[in-house]
Structure 1
Amino acid sequence: MTVDHLASLRQGTAALAELLARADLTVPVPSCPGWSLAELGRHTGAVHHWARAALSTDGPPALPPGPADDRDVPGAYADAATALLDALATTPADQPCWTLDRADRTAAFWARRQAHEVALHHWDARAALHRPASIDPATALDGIDEVLGMFLPRQVRLDRLPATADVVHPVPAESGAVLPVGSGDLAGAPVGAVAGPAEALLLLLWRRTDVSDDRLQLRGDRAAVAATLDRPLTP
């Protein structure tokens, strides 16, 4: 499965902008403790501006604060999304720039990263409103690859992840691929495996759900699997 990251970002930002324009912005977002919908929109808009700035820098730009008044959040978010999409559409995918990934210092990184930023936070927002929320399988598989290929190694490198020798094998139903998770030797014998839809596994890696999710089938040492996954694998 392949993902058109710009198309995904365009659809995701439009959906989130519409939700923010219509929803009660004081609603709390349980999957982002301490946030309301206004804060979710403020944060995501600021990250869009940050990513756009990164396209033309060789170092990390400053993260802007966003609008002080919650009532200004929907409009500010829509503007930030438009500015990011315009910048990505006019920037060659292979243009060098600063990114979070030492192995990919090109503009294409930001199209992918922001597509997943929006997919996850749109899920957060819809879940907060008790509406059906979903992430399509192709996006979820790509998101899992991003976590395991970029975020998890970065968390280890930055000493943000408590060390453990345990390894867990997530297995997405859509691909059947075994995807080792751990902060040490990934070739070691796993303490267990978790199988299920890619969406559920992605949400598990981002700590939006846990191993008790009915969509997941767990094999092995349940406590060890839960402990290995319930760590800051992502920022």
Structure 2
Amino acid sequence: MRNCPKWTTHDLVTHLTTLLSSTVAAITDRPAEPLAAVDWPDTLGRWDGQRLAVREALRLPADTPTRPPSPGTWLLTVGDWTRRLAHETAIHRLDAESALAEPPSTRFGDAFAVDGIEEFLTCFVPRRVADRDGVVRLEAGERTWTVVLRSDEAPEPAEDGVPDLTIAGSPDDVYRALWGRPHAARVVGQVSLLEPLAAP
């Protein structure tokens, strides 16, 4: 896959199946199913099985609390998991499409992309520890976010600040840029400041 050169499509499907299994486990408070698929029929069978399982799990009310992803981490609701899966699947859709000889020109709507940017900033960024100082500004359509980086601290949102790095463009392109996928956003300033924010 062009987007993820170290991954095969099999790796991608296995990763998503593992995420679905973990989601079901968190919502139902049961152990995640072990995934040891090797061949494609087994891999796709497990993928289909977990897709059905997660659809059932997500039928619970959105405000239903779930088990934390790991001990000592933040609490998530069923609604949070729904949002997490939506964006994880969207980004990996781009990865799967990048394996095609002629990838389709997939674009995400503004509202979805803006929500993806906010989900990234609230879900992933607080779990990072910066190794440098700087101010990052994101400009996606009419929305703007500012993130302050301080060495040895978790990045924090800010109301304003003189940016050392600005990423500007359509919500779709800024969304992709945050996730390290090909994009057409304008990137001006210290590009290295993206590293402390990098997606896992």
**TM norm structure 1:** 0.71
Q: Is the 8 A contact 2:21 2:32 kept in 1?
A: no
Please say if 1:70 is aligned against 2:40.
yes
Identity of aligned residues (%): 30
Given the superposition, is the C-alpha separation of residues 165 and 63 from structure 1 closer, same or farther in structure 2, using an over 3 Å criterion? farther
Q: Deviations over 1:19-48 (max 9, x none)?
A: xxxxxxxxxx23223211111111101110
Structure 1 partner of 2:84: 113
Match of 1:125 in 2: 96
- Distance in 2 between residues matched to 1:128 and 1:38, nearest whole Å: 12
Paired with 2:36 and 2:169, the residues of 1 have a C-alpha distance of 37
Alignment RMSD (CA, Å): 2.3
CA 234–63 in structure 1, closer or farther in 2 if over 3 Å, else same:
farther
| 1:94 corresponds to | 63
Deviation string 1:63-104 (CA, Å, 9 cap, x unpaired) is: 733522133222321221111011111x222222124562x5
**Larger RCO (CA under 8 A, 6+ residues apart):** 1
Letter of the 1:197 partner, please give it: S
Runs of 4+ in 1 over 4 A off after TM superposition: none
Query: What CA deviation, in whole Å up to 9, does each residue of 1:174-207 have, x standing for no partner?
Result: xx22211343364542113221111111111111
Answer yes or no: is the 8 Å Cα contact 1:43–1:66 preserved in 2: no
Instruction: Measure the CA separation in 2 of the matches of 1:117 and 1:92.
Output: 21
Task: Tell me whether 1:167 sits opposite 2:132 in the alignment.
Answer: no
Q: Are the aligned partners of 1:169 and 1:181 in contact in 2 as well (CA < 8 Å)?
A: yes
Whole-Å Cα distance in 2 between the matches of residues 192 and 47 of structure 1?
A: 32
| Matches of 1:92 and 1:152, distance apart in 2 | 27
Following the alignment from structure 2 to structure 1, what is the Cα–Cα distance between the partners of residues 110 and 83?
15
Say if 1:167 and 1:191, in contact at 8 Å, map to a contact too.
yes
Counting only pairs closer than 5 Å after superposition, residues 1-235 of structure 1 correspond to structure 2 as: 29-57=1-29, 62=32, 64-89=34-59, 91-100=60-69, 102=74, 104-129=75-100, 130-132=102-104, 133-156=106-129, 162-173=130-141, 176-184=142-150, 186=158, 187-209=160-182, 213=183, 215-219=184-188, 221=189, 224=190, 226-235=191-200
**Given residue 123 of structure 2, which amino acid in structure 1 is its aligned partner?**
M
Change (3 A) 1:96 1:39: same
1:66 and 1:44 map into 2 onto residues whose CA distance is: 14
| Contact kept in structure 2, 1:166 and 1:182, CA below 8 Å | yes
Is the contact between residue 45 and residue 66 of structure 1 (CA under 8 Å) also seen in structure 2?
no
SS at match of 2:139: strand
Output the TM-score relative to the length of structure 2: 0.82
Q: Give the residue type in structure 2 aligned to 1:180.
A: T
Q: Which has the higher strand share?
A: 2
> Is the alpha carbon distance of 1:66 and 1:48 closer, same or farther for their aligned partners in structure 2, counting shifts above 3 Å?
farther
Are the equivalent residues in 1 in contact too, given 2:128–2:196 (CA < 8 A)? Answer: no
The secondary structure found in structure 1 opposite 2:166 is strand
Q: Which runs of 5+ in 2 are unaligned?
A: 151-155
Count of residues paired in the alignment? 188
Q: Secondary structure at the match of 1:178?
A: strand
User: What letter is aligned with 2:185?
Assistant: L
- Distance (whole Å) between structure 2 residues aligned to residue 35 and residue 149 of structure 1: 27
